[in-house]
Amino acid sequence: MRLLTPAVLVATAALLLSACGTTETPTAAPSESAAATGPVTVTDARGKAVTLKAPAKRVVALEWGEAEMVASLGVMPVGAADVAGYNVWDKAVPLTAEVKDVGKRNEPSVDAIVGLNPDVVIIAEERDSPLVPQIEKYVPVVVTKTSDASRNFDRLREDFKLIAKTVGKEAEADKQLSEMDAKLAEGKKAVEAKGAAGTPFLMADAYLEGSTVSIRPFGKGSLVSDTAEAVGAKNVWTGQVDPQWGLGQTDVEGLTAITDPKTMLFYSASEEDVFTTGLAQNAVYQRLPFVVSKKIHKLESGTWTFGGPKSIIFTADQIVKALTA
Amino acid sequence: MLKEVRGTSSRRGLRKTARAPQAIRTVVVSAGLVALIVVLAGIHLTQGTSTSGPLDVVKAIFGHGDAQTLAVLEGSRVPRLLAALLLGVALGVAGAGMQSVARNPLASPDTLAVNAGAHFAVVAISAFGLSLPLVPVGGAAFAGGLAAAVIVLGLAGGGSASPRLVLVGSAVLLALQSVTILLLLLFEQETSGLFAWGSGSLTVSDLRATGQMTPIVVIAVVALIAMGRKLDVLALGDDNATVLGLRVRRTRIGAIVLTVALTAAAVTVAGPVGFVGLSAPVITKLLLPIAKHRVLLPVSGLVGVVTVLGADVVLRAIMGSAAAVRVPTGVVTTIIGAVVMVWLARRGRGSGSRRPAPAGRVGVAGSTRRLVLISAVLVALLAVIPVAGMMFGDRVVLLGDLMNWVTGNTGTALTFVLDQRLPRVLAALLAGAALAVSGCGIQSVSRNPLAEPGLLGITAGAGLGAITLITVVPVAGAWAIAGAAGAGATVVFLLVYGLAWRSGLDSDRLVIIGIAVWSAGMALITLLIVVSDPWNSAKALTWLSGSTYGRTLEQVAPVALALIALTPLLWLKHRELDLHALDEDTPRVLGMRIERSRLVILGASGILAATAVSAIGVVVFVGLVAPHLARSLVGGRHGRIVPVAAALGALLVSVADTLGRTVIAPAQIPAGLVIAMVGTPYFILVLWRTRP
């Protein structure tokens, strides 16, 4: 301690002496690039009217689905949370190297967010999140619903249109939504033509740690399940799911609830593939109808199951292909 | 000569007559345990998430089963059952072995941090993406566990009957857990499933791990039982054992290696399943009080199996199998183990070594010059550290910026950064001060230099109260949360205090019971989060490790108010604090109303700790480190200790918070983790200095 105290004092003194400048550049006001369009007002998921001086050009999106939506509209976000992770898990719309990482998705750095001097920050609704009111003091915040297992497609449209209006790309959004609708309708038609309508399916992902396996089925109301149902397949998972994401939790034994021999399994695994490594040798797994009939389809790695219209199209393509194969 | 021979033979005869009922008792107990295991295993096999019910299972066992049930048995229920059996045997025997080596009924894979060391090694391998086949993972777990055991036993002086083994173990456990959580935080994608697994889970997918670990467990168990005689001799004490020709060192090292191997095997299969190794041998000794090691070790294994199976069966019976998938088995065994630990601490008589007052140990002359100097340094630091806290973070700002901010001349971006940084800096400062003052009060009244609001379970109780409220009422405001934290802290503290009170307050007993209740509290917090909000790992990490992320001035207000109101109160009572710290009798002789004074001081300390938790989550060690440091700086008088400790606590948490916000920016480390990593070495230093 005796040695420590002077050392601390010297260090702090040195620090103080060297730290007397400022970090702000004199050109304080953000350059408002000739506001071609006038102010926009959007009503976000909280029911709050958010007004921007002009459609946002510099956007920070904190959840991956929202980042994808922004990027897909032709506005590359200036910042997103865990960019490296995004590019592993969501390949439908890659983020460029210029997108700055603002920290982890669950606790992004507010310093990094405002450091990007954004026009708007898009945050997914989450209960008791301290972020929204804090960031709102500095920059307009648009809150999206992100997921609602009772009406996920309508929710997706609303979120997408909300974001499109925020960045002034409503026409592009309408185009993509009709593209998505067309894709789903076309897929449904193809599936019906093959006589595959009503094909029962299970969609899941899984984690393996040590020799402990947890399986996460996507129940009715989850976005990817709704996608598969939209092209005519039928989700057979009836276990309990949470009201927001439509996700359940079970072990391999719980999958025996699925008995229909026509059932297909779709699973997503962007990193470790538990279904081929951890489960393949399991007696229960080997007897599951889709294993016996070899009706297993791994979604391409980078198929984000909580994404935007581009992810939906990406997923729907794979499902239709599997159903009509 | 003749006499002697006769003497021996008559003693032998005596022993034989005493042994006969003992042998019968051993047989009866073992048979009873085996029967219980059979029953539990039967129930266990009928529980599961598939529709295969008891009848199907019975049919399958008698050879008439349908193929589906057979597959379910083979692929899910039998592996789960075998994992439970392996785990129970490994941990039960390991616990019994460790208790013998340490000659301490509180030794176990948990309290010696072997579990935590093995778990850390496994998580580290997973985090750094080294996808190894299972045996090297087991090897890493073994290395991690062995390192932890060596550190703990080394620091505790090779093991002794004193509770300090548990204290060192808990400290190392905390540090290892902090680093483990840090890895989970940094590599969230790679380790997504490890959060629940960190509490030990039996949802195994196949028999590979169990199969690979079984030979290790069998060899280690057999080897330990073969060492039984030596362990019996070792129990007589090092000197006696040496006289009797035992190579004490070699025996001890051999036994430690074997018990660590058992623990590592269990962790490799199912993660750190808590407190089985503690409770199994204790229960065994209750059933068979004078058992030799050749009986004690295998019976402990049986009791371990009963504990693990029982926890699993009860959990699934209560919650239903589908919902119980979420809850790690280790959560339940930790709660069971905590109950055993409390019982054990209550049963054991006082350690006998009346600990002198904490002040009595540190011979610092309280010279005025020194006091003035230290005060000046602290005031200077209190001015500098918060400023540094405002300057550092993901975005580093300079003093000129701060000046501009104070005078309202910064641009919007910088204004915002500093505006949101202010509550975080304040939360760290105030919570640190509150925890430190709380620690002063608790250490003085409990007359234990190792007591503090964290280790006494108070902060875990506050966290439990707060998180219960958030779960039930998601929109609860800051004051309501502080109130719930206060209620939780009060209930838990009354519980710890009441349990530790047995015609007087033995300070070691208080701390051991506190650690038990703290473990149970943390297990309950895990349970609550896993059940109510399973996909929200951020929330879990905040409440389990303490963080200033996203604090607002409103949330800081309760702790500020508590500090303003209660610090002067405790300071004015500094003479009472001095007297409490002396011994039980002096205050009475001097006519102090001792119980009332104790209640006021503890009440104030509890409120301070609870508001601190509602501001930054569960943080340990501050309440221990700050008063100690204060005492070593300005002597043993509380009139000086309280303000100095408050300043030190504020500085400690503030520095930890600033570091956590800066070093891996834009990601951040919760302040509580930084403190655990810094606080552990200090805690161990304190233990070293206060060694008997």
Per residue in B518-557, pLDDT (tens digit) is 889 988 988 888 777 766 666 666 677 788 888 888 889 9
State percent of chain B over pLDDT 70: 87
User: How far apart are the CA of A252 and the nearest CA of chain B, in angstroms?
Assistant: 7
Q: Looking at the predicted complex, does its ipTM rise above 0.90?
A: no
Q: Is the pLDDT of residue B340 over 50?
A: yes
Task: Give residue for tokens 């670990």.
Answer: B213
Question: pTM of this prediction?
Answer: 0.83
- Listed range (A158-167, B347-356, B574-583) with the worst mean pLDDT: B347-356
Facing residues of A297 across strands? A266
Mean pLDDT for chain B? 83
User: CA-nearest residue of chain B to A101?
Assistant: B666
Check residue A174 and give its pLDDT.
Answer: 96
User: How far apart are the CA of A56 and the nearest CA of chain B, in angstroms?
Assistant: 17
Q: Which residues of chain A does B325 touch, with a Cβ-Cβ cutoff of 8 Å?
A: 214, 249-251, 254
Kind and range of the H or E run holding A295: none
- Listed range (A46-50, B146-150, B258-262, B417-421) with the worst mean pLDDT: B417-421
- Between B647 and A115, the more confident residue is B647
Per residue in B422-479, pLDDT (tens digit) is 999 999 999 999 999 999 998 888 777 778 888 888 889 998 998 898 888 877 778 8
Say how many C-beta atoms besides its own lie within 10 A of residue A240's C-beta: 13
Interface of B with A in 606-665 (CB under 8 A): 629, 632-633, 665
Q: Is the pLDDT of residue B298 over 90?
A: yes
Contact in structure between A23 and B398 (CB atoms under 8 Å): yes
Q: Which residues of chain B does A16 touch, with a Cβ-Cβ cutoff of 8 Å?
A: 384, 399
Q: Is the pLDDT of residue B2 over 50?
A: no
B407 interface with A at CB cutoff 8 Å: no
Task: Give residue for tokens 């297992």.
Answer: A149
Check residue B329 and give its pLDDT.
Answer: 84
**CA B656, B657, B660, B663 torsion: positive or negative?**
negative
State percent of chain B over pLDDT 90: 28
Per residue in B151-177, pLDDT (tens digit) is 888 777 654 556 677 778 888 888 888
Cβ contact (<8 Å) for A253 and B667? no
- Residue-by-residue DSSP string for A181-250: HHHHHHHHHHHHHTT-TT-EEEEEEEEEETTEEEEEEB-TTSHHHHHHHHTT-EE---S---TTT-B--B
Minimal Cβ distance to B208: which of A106, A117, A211:
A211
| Cα B644 versus chain centre, distance | 28
B685 interface with A at CB cutoff 8 Å: no
Check residue A28 and give its pLDDT.
Answer: 43
B463, two tokens:
């966290």
Choose among B260, B209, B258: nearest CA to B86: B209
Cβ contact (<8 Å) for A281 and B269? no
Average pLDDT over residues B306-329: 87
Choose among A58, A11, A7: nearest CA to A32: A58
Measured CA angle at B137 (ends B131, B139), to 5 deg:
145
- Residue-by-residue DSSP string for B644-684: HHHHHHHHHHHHHHHHHHHTTTTS---HHHHHHHHHHHHHH
Task: Give residue for tokens 């199907």.
Answer: B56
B192 interface with A at CB cutoff 8 Å: yes
Check residue B3 and give its pLDDT.
Answer: 40
Say how many C-beta atoms besides its own lie within 10 A of residue A61's C-beta: 31
Compute CA distances B227 → A206, B174, B246, B297, whole Å. Answer: 44, 32, 11, 10
Look at residue B76 and give its three-state secondary structure: helix
Per residue in B3-59, pLDDT (tens digit) is 443 444 444 444 555 567 788 999 999 999 999 999 999 999 988 888 888 888 888
Choose among A320, A317, A322: nearest CA to A303: A317
Check residue B684 and give its pLDDT.
Answer: 75
Q: Is the pLDDT of residue B351 over 50?
A: no
Check residue A18 and give its pLDDT.
Answer: 58
Check residue B13 and give its pLDDT.
Answer: 46
Check residue B438 and give its pLDDT.
Answer: 94
Per residue in B173-230, pLDDT (tens digit) is 888 888 887 777 777 654 444 454 455 666 665 677 888 889 999 999 999 999 999 9
Per residue in B477-509, pLDDT (tens digit) is 788 888 898 899 989 988 988 888 876 667 778
Task: Give residue for tokens 């925890």.
Answer: B435
Half-sphere exposure in the Cβ direction for B125 (13 Å, CA): 22
Q: Give the pLDDT band (50/70/90) at residue B348.
A: low
Check residue A305 and give its pLDDT.
Answer: 92
Choose among B282, B300, B214: nearest CA to B30: B300
Between CA B333 and CA A103 the distance in angstroms is: 36
Q: Is the pLDDT of residue B353 over 50?
A: no
Contacts 24+ apart (CB under 8 A), A180-185: A180/A309, A180/A312, A180/A313, A180/A316, A183/A312, A183/A313, A183/A316, A183/A317, A184/A227, A184/A230, A184/A231, A184/A312, A184/A316
**Which residue ranges of chain A lie beneath pLDDT 70?**
1-20, 25-36, 127-128, 209-212
Half-sphere exposure in the Cβ direction for B104 (13 Å, CA): 26
Check residue B22 and give its pLDDT.
Answer: 81
Check residue B357 and give its pLDDT.
Answer: 43
Between CA B579 and CA B147 the distance in angstroms is: 42
Q: Which residues of chain A does B329 touch, with a Cβ-Cβ cutoff of 8 Å?
A: none
**Among B205, B419, B625, B663, the residue to mutate for chain A (most A Cβ within 10 A):** B205
Compute CA distances B455 → B493, B514, B618, whole Å. Answer: 11, 6, 11
Between CA B148 and CA B108 the distance in angstroms is: 12
Check residue A237 and give its pLDDT.
Answer: 93
Cβ contact (<8 Å) for A209 and B191? yes
Cβ contact (<8 Å) for B196 and A16? no
- Residue-by-residue DSSP string for B8-52: HHHHHHHHHHHHHHHHHHHHHHHHHHHHHHHHHHHHHHH-SSSS-
A117, two tokens:
């001097």
Contact in structure between A315 and A303 (CB atoms under 8 Å): yes
